Chains A and B, each alone.
Chain A
Amino acid sequence: MFAPLRHEAVIGWAWEPSVLIGLALAALLYGLAAGTVLGRRPARSSLPPGRVLCFYLGLTAIFVALVSPLDSLADGYLFSAHMAQHLLLMMVAVPLMMLGIPRWMYAWAIPRGWPRRTLCWVTRPVPAFLIFNTTLALWHLPRLYGLALENEGVHILQHMMLLVGAGIGWWPVLGHFPSAARRPSPGVRVLYLFLQGFPATALAALITLAPNPLYAFYVEAPRVWGISPDVDQMWSGLLMWMPGAMVYLAAATVIFLRWFADDGAPERDVSPGANISDAEVVHG
């Protein structure tokens, strides 16, 4: 069995330049884009500070996931830490950042033509659902997971794919379509979130209930805080199970209640989806 060097990795901050530069760049670009607007304040595309905050919180989540000691724990010692890291990226960072990005920013960022067409196709509920969950499932196959742990390049690829997959997965709920195409109606989005729970639940249940360790890497890893491999694996399963489900439930709650919020307004069209989507155009 291979003896990965990273087992000797010290638990501490991982000042990976590529990550830091990436984060800084993202922060800068977003800041410029948002700032210029906040400066000018054209009514149509104003960006409430709450949204800006969301985006930066998202970046912070990535920072915590990839730079804080969590990263070295994940890479060398604990499966549960790795799970927490992935959850942080997919279920916290991505949705927060998407909340922060208004429609006009997509329109400004995504070139017309085939990029937009593909995006619009890929981010329809069914394809988005499939892409997100296939990515998730594939990267949990013991072989691929092991590969990612042995080989830094594969590991980066894994994180990239998970991030992009999550972006696509969240798009029907939080993303905007640069083109005129309207996002799905709130009802569809609530259902979509409900269904997103299923594959995650199945995967999490399998990880939690598996009596034998799935990933040899973490069995051989030196033990920290006396956490045994099986407890470690069980906790990673449970992390994926409940917090994951709760994020979906929370999102569904917000969408549902806002959808129902202002019905009864005199002579207002509340055909499913109408009110929520223009309610959100106002917020960008």
Chain B
Amino acid sequence: MTAVATADARRQGIARTGMLAALASETVFFGTLLSAYLFMRLDQPGWLQITATPARLILPVLNTSVLVVSALAVTLGERAVARGSQRGLAAGLAAALVLGLVFVGGQILEFSSNGMRPGDQAFGGVFFTLMGFHALHVLAGVVLLGINLVRTRLGDFSPARHIAVTMGTWFWVYVTAVWLAMFVGLYLI
């Protein structure tokens, strides 16, 4: 292998390991949040909980699907750059970015629509906290995608060198997966 190639390999190894460690830490964070919520809920026989009627679930389900689609878009974008299609990458990132923002908007709507305040009972706080911290992560992801989008325009990425895109994709897919877990936790059980 040429020196450049080895340097690249090392850089990618570093990026991957670092991202994995960060995501592992994040997983414990969200896992702890969910566990705390379940711990409190099990402790309270009269726990006030959203009743998951189909009508009640429309908005959350829409939000969820938006996020899932965005994850798809990012993944396709990364595939595209691997094939060398800058346009494909840009399209994927842009789409995901917009959908991400839509999702956050939807979440805000969802929270305000069910008329709960952080302060009413424990569940209000749980609902607010879980959705809130997740939304913050989505926003962080949006920033990440934004940067990658700009760099795509600047032509920073090539089929051989686009580790930043890959990392962005990992993060975005991860955040989507976390929401799926929270969706189950908050609405279905």
Query: Which A residues are closer than 8 A to B by beta carbons?
Result: 141-143, 195, 198-199, 202, 205-206, 209-212, 214
Contact = CB atoms under 8 A, between A and B. Distances in A.
Contacts, number: 25
Contacts of B31: 198-199, 202
A206 B43 contact: no
B38 A211 contact: no
A210 B35 contact: no
Given A141-B189, A195-B24, A202 B42 contact: no
B180 to A, nearest CB: 10
Given A141-B189, A195-B24, A211 B43 contact: yes
B38 to A, nearest CB: 5
Given A195-B24, A210-B42, A212-B45, 14 more contacts: A143-B189, A198-B31, A199-B31, A202-B35, A205-B35, A206-B35, A206-B38, A206-B42, A209-B39, A209-B42, A211-B43, A212-B42, A212-B43, A214-B42
A206 B32 CA distance: 11
Interface in B1-58: 24, 28, 31, 35, 38-39, 42-43, 45
Nearest to B189: A141
A206 B39 contact: yes
Interface string B154-189: 000000000000000000000000000000000001
Contacts of B39: 205-206, 209
Question: Which 10 A-B pairs rank lowest in CB-CB distance, beginning with the nearest?
Answer: A210-B42, A202-B35, A206-B38, A141-B189, A212-B45, A211-B43, A206-B39, A202-B31, A206-B42, A212-B42
A195 B27 CA distance: 11
Interface residues of B, number: 10
A244 to B, nearest CB: 16
A148 B43 CA distance: 25
B28 A198 contact: yes
B24 to A, nearest CB: 7
Contacts of A212: 42-43, 45
Contacts of A198: 28, 31
Contacts of A202: 31, 35
A214 B39 CA distance: 12
Contacts of A210: 42-43
A132 B95 CA distance: 32
Nearest to B34: A202
A214 B42 CA distance: 8
A141 B38 CA distance: 11
A111 B50 CA distance: 48
Q: Specify which of A141, A198, A209 lies most central, judged by the most chain B CB atoms within 10 Å of its CB.
A: A198
Contacts of B28: 198
A207 to B, nearest CB: 9
A202 B30 CA distance: 12
